[in-house]
């Protein structure tokens, strides 16, 4: 079952509005409503991207980054990246 890209875009826009509302009402670091809104935007974007591709064979210039991938990349350090500085 494919989703109409316009409907998916409306859902993405609504998710962005909710994220703005949550961010502006943030009650400190790690506010669960901001985190939930963040993931809702990411999910809505992926649905929109899929719908756009299915309907028109087109994509956006945007990408959703996964924090787990970033943490794995940060933990992998090559010896070539290290430099010993002697004073």
Residue with tokens 């890209």: 5
Please state the pTM of the whole predicted model: 0.73
Instruction: Give the phi and the psi of residue 76 in degrees, each rounded to 5.
Output: -90, 105
Question: Torsion over CA of 44, 10, 17 and 36, rounded to 10 degrees?
Answer: -20
Could you tell me the pLDDT band of residue 9, with boundaries at 50, 70 and 90?
very high
Q: What is the pLDDT of residues 10-63, one digit of tens each?
A: 999 999 999 999 999 999 998 999 999 999 999 999 999 999 999 999 999 999
The neighbour count for residue 61, using CB atoms within 10 Å, is 4
The neighbour count for residue 68, using CB atoms within 10 Å, is 8
């Amino acid at each position: 079952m494919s989703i109409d890209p316009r409907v998916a875009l409306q859902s993405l826009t609504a998710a962005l509005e909710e994220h703005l509302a949550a961010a502006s009402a943030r009650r400190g670091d790690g506010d669960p409503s901001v985190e939930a809104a963040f993931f809702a935007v990411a999910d809505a974007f992926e649905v929109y991207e899929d719908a756009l591709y299915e309907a028109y064979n087109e994509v956006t210039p945007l990408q959703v980054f996964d924090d787990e991938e970033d943490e794995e990349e940060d933990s992998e350090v090559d010896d070539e990246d290290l430099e010993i500085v002697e004073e």
